[in-house]
Protein backbone atom coordinates (compact mmCIF):
# COMPACT_ATOMS: atom_id res chain seq x y z
CA UNK A 1 0.00 0.00 0.00
CA UNK A 2 2.66 2.52 0.81
CA UNK A 3 6.36 3.37 0.77
CA UNK A 4 9.29 3.54 3.17
CA UNK A 5 9.20 6.01 6.01
CA UNK A 6 11.39 9.08 6.00
CA UNK A 7 13.40 8.02 9.06
CA UNK A 8 14.74 5.04 7.17
CA UNK A 9 18.34 6.03 6.27
CA UNK A 10 18.48 3.42 3.54
CA UNK A 11 15.47 5.03 1.86
CA UNK A 12 16.92 8.53 2.11
CA UNK A 13 19.78 7.35 -0.10
CA UNK A 14 17.93 5.10 -2.61
CA UNK A 15 19.70 2.16 -4.19
CA UNK A 16 19.96 2.56 -7.96
CA UNK A 17 19.55 -1.10 -8.79
CA UNK A 18 17.13 -3.00 -10.98
CA UNK A 19 13.64 -2.39 -9.58
CA UNK A 20 12.49 -5.54 -7.82
CA UNK A 21 9.13 -5.91 -6.10
CA UNK A 22 8.58 -8.85 -3.83
CA UNK A 23 5.07 -10.23 -4.25
CA UNK A 24 3.32 -11.75 -1.28
CA UNK A 25 0.03 -13.59 -1.12
CA UNK A 26 -2.79 -12.61 1.26
CA UNK A 27 -1.04 -14.50 4.07
CA UNK A 28 2.18 -12.52 3.63
CA UNK A 29 4.06 -15.44 2.11
CA UNK A 30 6.66 -14.45 -0.48
CA UNK A 31 6.46 -16.41 -3.72
CA UNK A 32 8.72 -14.56 -6.15
CA UNK A 33 10.28 -11.27 -7.19
CA UNK A 34 9.11 -9.01 -9.98
CA UNK A 35 11.61 -7.19 -12.18
CA UNK A 36 10.71 -4.42 -14.60
CA UNK A 37 13.04 -5.86 -17.24
CA UNK A 38 10.61 -8.81 -17.42
CA UNK A 39 7.55 -6.61 -17.91
CA UNK A 40 5.86 -6.81 -21.33
CA UNK A 41 3.64 -3.83 -22.16
CA UNK A 42 0.19 -4.65 -23.55
CA UNK A 43 -1.78 -1.43 -23.24
CA UNK A 44 -1.61 2.15 -21.94
CA UNK A 45 -4.53 2.55 -19.53
CA UNK A 46 -4.12 6.23 -18.73
CA UNK A 47 -1.67 9.07 -19.26
CA UNK A 48 -1.62 12.57 -17.79
CA UNK A 49 0.68 15.22 -19.18
CA UNK A 50 -0.44 17.57 -16.39
CA UNK A 51 0.43 15.22 -13.52
CA UNK A 52 3.37 13.61 -15.39
CA UNK A 53 1.98 10.10 -14.87
CA UNK A 54 1.31 7.06 -17.01
CA UNK A 55 -0.45 3.80 -16.11
CA UNK A 56 0.12 0.70 -18.21
CA UNK A 57 -1.18 -2.85 -18.35
CA UNK A 58 0.99 -5.85 -19.15
CA UNK A 59 2.45 -9.15 -18.00
CA UNK A 60 5.64 -10.38 -16.41
CA UNK A 61 7.47 -13.05 -18.38
CA UNK A 62 6.81 -16.60 -17.19
CA UNK A 63 4.08 -15.43 -14.77
CA UNK A 64 0.34 -15.84 -14.96
CA UNK A 65 -2.07 -12.96 -14.57
CA UNK A 66 -1.77 -9.34 -15.60
CA UNK A 67 -0.02 -6.45 -13.86
CA UNK A 68 -0.57 -2.71 -13.65
CA UNK A 69 2.50 -0.46 -13.52
CA UNK A 70 1.99 3.17 -12.53
CA UNK A 71 4.85 5.60 -13.24
CA UNK A 72 5.02 9.12 -11.84
CA UNK A 73 7.72 11.78 -12.17
CA UNK A 74 8.89 12.88 -8.74
CA UNK A 75 8.37 16.43 -7.50
CA UNK A 76 11.36 18.76 -7.20
CA UNK A 77 12.88 18.90 -3.72
CA UNK A 78 14.54 22.06 -2.42
CA UNK A 79 17.52 20.12 -1.10
CA UNK A 80 18.34 18.94 -4.65
CA UNK A 81 18.61 22.49 -6.02
CA UNK A 82 22.33 22.92 -5.38
CA UNK A 83 25.70 22.03 -6.90
CA UNK A 84 25.33 18.44 -5.71
CA UNK A 85 21.97 18.04 -7.40
CA UNK A 86 20.53 19.67 -10.52
CA UNK A 87 23.41 22.15 -10.78
CA UNK A 88 26.22 19.65 -10.30
CA UNK A 89 29.08 18.92 -12.71
CA UNK A 90 27.31 15.67 -13.61
CA UNK A 91 24.24 17.46 -15.01
CA UNK A 92 24.17 17.57 -18.81
CA UNK A 93 22.27 19.97 -21.06
CA UNK A 94 21.05 19.15 -24.56
CA UNK A 95 20.35 22.35 -26.49
CA UNK A 96 17.16 22.63 -28.54
CA UNK A 97 17.76 26.25 -29.60
CA UNK A 98 19.18 29.56 -28.40
CA UNK A 99 18.02 32.99 -29.55
CA UNK A 100 19.65 36.06 -28.07
CA UNK A 101 19.18 35.77 -24.27
CA UNK A 102 16.68 32.89 -24.48
CA UNK A 103 17.73 29.26 -24.46
CA UNK A 104 15.69 26.04 -24.51
CA UNK A 105 17.38 22.83 -23.28
CA UNK A 106 16.69 19.33 -22.06
CA UNK A 107 18.36 18.65 -18.70
CA UNK A 108 19.86 15.30 -17.67
CA UNK A 109 20.54 15.49 -13.91
CA UNK A 110 22.39 12.85 -11.87
CA UNK A 111 20.59 9.51 -11.60
CA UNK A 112 20.41 9.79 -7.81
CA UNK A 113 17.82 12.58 -8.07
CA UNK A 114 16.15 11.51 -11.30
CA UNK A 115 14.11 8.52 -10.15
CA UNK A 116 10.57 7.74 -11.27
CA UNK A 117 8.11 6.68 -8.59
CA UNK A 118 6.81 3.24 -9.56
CA UNK A 119 3.78 1.37 -8.23
CA UNK A 120 3.06 -2.22 -9.26
CA UNK A 121 -0.23 -4.06 -8.75
CA UNK A 122 0.17 -7.78 -9.37
CA UNK A 123 -1.88 -9.77 -9.96
CA UNK A 124 -4.34 -7.08 -11.05
CA UNK A 125 -8.07 -7.77 -11.24
CA UNK A 126 -10.66 -6.44 -13.68
CA UNK A 127 -11.70 -3.94 -11.00
CA UNK A 128 -8.13 -2.62 -10.79
CA UNK A 129 -7.99 -2.28 -14.57
CA UNK A 130 -11.29 -0.38 -14.62
CA UNK A 131 -10.14 1.87 -11.77
CA UNK A 132 -6.93 2.94 -13.54
CA UNK A 133 -8.32 3.21 -17.09
CA UNK A 134 -9.11 6.55 -18.71
CA UNK A 135 -12.87 6.86 -19.20
CA UNK A 136 -15.91 9.11 -19.07
CA UNK A 137 -16.94 10.27 -15.58
CA UNK A 138 -20.42 11.16 -14.26
CA UNK A 139 -21.76 12.72 -11.04
CA UNK A 140 -24.51 10.97 -9.08
CA UNK A 141 -26.53 12.74 -6.38
CA UNK A 142 -27.03 9.85 -3.99
CA UNK A 143 -30.02 10.14 -1.65
CA UNK A 144 -30.23 7.87 1.42
CA UNK A 145 -32.82 5.84 -0.49
CA UNK A 146 -30.49 5.36 -3.46
CA UNK A 147 -27.69 4.40 -1.10
CA UNK A 148 -29.81 1.66 0.50
CA UNK A 149 -31.34 0.45 -2.75
CA UNK A 150 -28.43 0.66 -5.23
CA UNK A 151 -25.06 1.60 -3.73
CA UNK A 152 -24.94 -0.51 -0.57
CA UNK A 153 -25.87 -3.85 -2.20
CA UNK A 154 -23.26 -3.20 -4.89
CA UNK A 155 -20.38 -2.34 -2.57
CA UNK A 156 -21.13 -5.27 -0.26
CA UNK A 157 -20.92 -7.56 -3.27
CA UNK A 158 -17.99 -6.10 -5.20
CA UNK A 159 -15.66 -4.10 -2.95
CA UNK A 160 -11.90 -4.67 -3.08
CA UNK A 161 -10.35 -7.23 -0.74
CA UNK A 162 -9.37 -5.55 2.56
CA UNK A 163 -6.72 -8.05 3.67
CA UNK A 164 -3.92 -5.52 3.09
CA UNK A 165 -5.67 -3.16 5.53
CA UNK A 166 -5.97 -5.87 8.17
CA UNK A 167 -2.30 -6.79 7.67
CA UNK A 168 -1.34 -3.25 8.68
CA UNK A 169 -3.72 -3.12 11.64
CA UNK A 170 -2.67 -6.58 12.88
CA UNK A 171 1.04 -5.79 12.63
CA UNK A 172 2.03 -8.23 9.88
CA UNK A 173 2.84 -5.70 7.11
CA UNK A 174 4.41 -2.23 6.72
CA UNK A 175 5.19 -1.80 10.40
CA UNK A 176 8.47 0.02 9.65
CA UNK A 177 6.46 2.68 7.83
CA UNK A 178 4.00 3.56 10.57
CA UNK A 179 4.23 7.19 11.68
CA UNK A 180 1.72 6.94 14.56
CA UNK A 181 -0.17 4.04 16.11
CA UNK A 182 -3.01 4.50 18.58
CA UNK A 183 -3.92 0.96 19.62
CA UNK A 184 -7.31 1.74 21.20
CA UNK A 185 -9.77 -0.61 19.46
CA UNK A 186 -12.61 1.91 19.52
CA UNK A 187 -10.85 5.25 18.94
CA UNK A 188 -7.47 4.10 17.65
CA UNK A 189 -5.94 4.39 14.21
CA UNK A 190 -2.71 3.88 12.30
CA UNK A 191 -1.10 6.81 10.44
CA UNK A 192 1.30 6.02 7.60
CA UNK A 193 2.37 7.32 4.16
CA UNK A 194 -0.09 6.79 1.34
CA UNK A 195 0.86 4.72 -1.69
CA UNK A 196 1.01 7.91 -3.77
CA UNK A 197 3.72 9.54 -1.60
CA UNK A 198 7.44 8.72 -1.59
CA UNK A 199 7.56 9.28 2.18
CA UNK A 200 10.28 11.92 1.85
CA UNK A 201 9.30 14.90 -0.32
CA UNK A 202 7.45 17.33 1.95
CA UNK A 203 5.99 19.22 -1.02
CA UNK A 204 3.87 16.16 -1.89
CA UNK A 205 3.16 15.00 1.68
CA UNK A 206 0.30 12.47 1.76
CA UNK A 207 -0.60 10.23 4.69
CA UNK A 208 -3.54 7.98 5.53
CA UNK A 209 -5.14 7.43 8.92
CA UNK A 210 -6.74 3.97 8.94
CA UNK A 211 -9.14 3.38 11.84
CA UNK A 212 -8.82 0.24 13.97
CA UNK A 213 -12.55 -0.17 14.46
CA UNK A 214 -13.97 -2.48 11.81
CA UNK A 215 -17.38 -2.22 10.23
CA UNK A 216 -17.27 1.53 9.43
CA UNK A 217 -17.37 1.45 5.66
CA UNK A 218 -17.58 5.12 4.74
CA UNK A 219 -18.97 8.57 5.49
CA UNK A 220 -22.49 7.10 5.34
CA UNK A 221 -21.90 5.05 8.50
CA UNK A 222 -20.74 7.94 10.69
CA UNK A 223 -22.88 9.35 13.52
CA UNK A 224 -22.43 11.06 16.90
CA UNK A 225 -20.92 7.92 18.45
CA UNK A 226 -17.89 8.35 16.15
CA UNK A 227 -17.10 11.97 17.14
CA UNK A 228 -14.37 11.00 19.68
CA UNK A 229 -12.68 8.88 17.00
CA UNK A 230 -12.83 11.64 14.37
CA UNK A 231 -11.51 14.30 16.76
CA UNK A 232 -8.68 12.02 17.83
CA UNK A 233 -7.64 11.37 14.24
CA UNK A 234 -7.64 15.10 13.51
CA UNK A 235 -5.79 16.21 16.65
CA UNK A 236 -3.24 13.39 16.95
CA UNK A 237 -2.63 13.36 13.20
CA UNK A 238 -1.86 17.09 13.13
CA UNK A 239 0.43 16.81 16.16
CA UNK A 240 2.42 13.88 14.76
CA UNK A 241 2.82 15.42 11.30
CA UNK A 242 4.09 18.66 12.85
CA UNK A 243 6.63 16.73 14.96
CA UNK A 244 7.85 14.49 12.17
CA UNK A 245 7.57 16.57 8.99
CA UNK A 246 7.45 20.15 10.36
CA UNK A 247 4.16 20.88 8.57
CA UNK A 248 1.64 22.83 10.65
CA UNK A 249 -1.96 21.68 11.03
CA UNK A 250 -3.10 24.88 9.30
CA UNK A 251 -1.14 23.75 6.22
CA UNK A 252 -2.88 20.38 6.01
CA UNK A 253 -5.88 19.35 3.98
CA UNK A 254 -7.61 16.67 6.09
CA UNK A 255 -10.53 14.94 4.39
CA UNK A 256 -12.54 11.83 3.60
CA UNK A 257 -13.49 10.58 0.16
CA UNK A 258 -16.98 9.64 -0.91
CA UNK A 259 -17.10 7.20 -2.50
CA UNK A 260 -13.82 5.91 -1.01
CA UNK A 261 -11.46 3.68 -2.97
CA UNK A 262 -11.80 0.99 -0.26
CA UNK A 263 -14.57 0.50 2.28
CA UNK A 264 -12.80 0.64 5.62
CA UNK A 265 -12.92 4.11 7.13
CA UNK A 266 -9.77 6.14 6.51
CA UNK A 267 -8.83 9.83 6.49
CA UNK A 268 -6.45 11.60 4.10
CA UNK A 269 -3.79 14.11 5.21
CA UNK A 270 -2.17 16.11 2.40
CA UNK A 271 -0.07 19.28 2.18
CA UNK A 272 -2.18 22.26 1.05
CA UNK A 273 0.40 23.13 -1.62
CA UNK A 274 0.04 19.65 -3.12
CA UNK A 275 -2.81 19.14 -5.59
CA UNK A 276 -3.43 15.50 -4.74
CA UNK A 277 -5.93 13.39 -6.68
CA UNK A 278 -9.47 13.45 -5.33
CA UNK A 279 -9.40 16.83 -3.54
CA UNK A 280 -12.28 18.30 -5.51
CA UNK A 281 -15.82 19.12 -4.31
CA UNK A 282 -17.50 16.09 -5.85
CA UNK A 283 -15.19 13.71 -3.98
CA UNK A 284 -13.65 15.32 -0.90
CA UNK A 285 -15.25 16.14 2.47
CA UNK A 286 -13.12 18.09 4.95
CA UNK A 287 -12.87 16.31 8.30
CA UNK A 288 -13.65 19.49 10.24
CA UNK A 289 -16.83 19.94 8.20
CA UNK A 290 -17.80 16.30 8.78
CA UNK A 291 -17.33 16.74 12.54
CA UNK A 292 -19.31 20.00 12.51
CA UNK A 293 -22.21 18.44 10.55
CA UNK A 294 -22.45 15.50 12.96
CA UNK A 295 -22.30 17.83 15.97
CA UNK A 296 -25.34 19.68 14.57
CA UNK A 297 -27.27 16.58 13.44
CA UNK A 298 -26.10 13.27 14.91
CA UNK A 299 -27.17 11.17 11.92
CA UNK A 300 -26.44 13.82 9.29
CA UNK A 301 -24.71 11.45 6.87
CA UNK A 302 -27.53 8.94 7.05
CA UNK A 303 -29.96 11.67 5.92
CA UNK A 304 -27.87 13.76 3.52
CA UNK A 305 -27.80 13.62 -0.27
CA UNK A 306 -24.14 13.06 -1.18
CA UNK A 307 -22.53 13.53 -4.59
CA UNK A 308 -20.04 11.05 -5.94
CA UNK A 309 -18.46 10.29 -9.28
CA UNK A 310 -18.71 7.06 -11.23
CA UNK A 311 -16.96 6.03 -14.42
CA UNK A 312 -18.49 4.17 -17.31
CA UNK A 313 -16.36 1.06 -16.80
CA UNK A 314 -17.47 0.74 -13.16
CA UNK A 315 -20.12 -1.91 -12.58
CA UNK A 316 -22.06 0.51 -10.39
CA UNK A 317 -22.44 2.79 -13.42
CA UNK A 318 -24.53 0.10 -15.11
CA UNK A 319 -26.73 -0.11 -12.03
CA UNK A 320 -27.37 3.64 -11.93
CA UNK A 321 -27.79 3.79 -15.72
CA UNK A 322 -30.37 0.98 -15.71
CA UNK A 323 -32.33 2.83 -13.04
CA UNK A 324 -32.24 6.10 -15.02
CA UNK A 325 -29.89 8.17 -12.84
CA UNK A 326 -27.03 8.60 -15.35
CA UNK A 327 -26.86 8.58 -19.13
CA UNK A 328 -24.02 7.22 -21.22
CA UNK A 329 -22.79 9.55 -23.98
CA UNK A 330 -22.41 7.84 -27.34
CA UNK A 331 -18.88 7.82 -28.70
CA UNK A 332 -19.87 9.58 -31.94
CA UNK A 333 -21.27 12.51 -29.92
CA UNK A 334 -17.99 12.78 -27.98
CA UNK A 335 -16.07 12.89 -31.26
CA UNK A 336 -18.33 15.68 -32.58
CA UNK A 337 -17.75 17.74 -29.42
CA UNK A 338 -13.99 17.23 -29.67
CA UNK A 339 -14.07 18.54 -33.26
DSSP letter for each residue of 171-188: TSS-GGG-SEEE--TTT-
Q: What Å distances lie between residue 242 and 233, 267, 277, 287, CA to CA? A: 14, 17, 23, 18
Which of 128, 138, 226, 266 does the annotation list as catalytic?
A: 266
CA distance 36 to 324: 44
Closest CA relative to residue 305, chosen from 317, 316, 293, 292: 293
266 is catalytic: yes
Query: In a 10 Å sphere around its CB, with 0-12 CB exposed, 13-18 middle and 19+ buried, how is residue 268 labelled?
Result: buried
User: Pairing relation of β-strands 306-311 and 266-271?
Assistant: unpaired
Return d(Cα 312, Cα 99) in angstroms, integer: 48
State the distance between the two ends of the chain, measured CA to CA, in whole angstroms: 41
Nearest-CA neighbor of 202 among 76, 302, 83? 76
Residues designated as active site: 266
Amino acid sequence: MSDSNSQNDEFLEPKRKECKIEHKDENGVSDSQLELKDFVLEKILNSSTNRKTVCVLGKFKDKSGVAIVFLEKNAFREEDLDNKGYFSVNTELKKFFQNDIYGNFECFPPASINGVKTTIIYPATDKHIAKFSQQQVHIVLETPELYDKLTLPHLEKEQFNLQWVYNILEGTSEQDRIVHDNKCEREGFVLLPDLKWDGVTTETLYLLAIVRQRGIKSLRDLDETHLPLLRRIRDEGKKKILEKYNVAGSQLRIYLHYQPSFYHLHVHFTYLKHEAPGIYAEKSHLLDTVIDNIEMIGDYYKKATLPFTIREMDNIFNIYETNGHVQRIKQENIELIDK
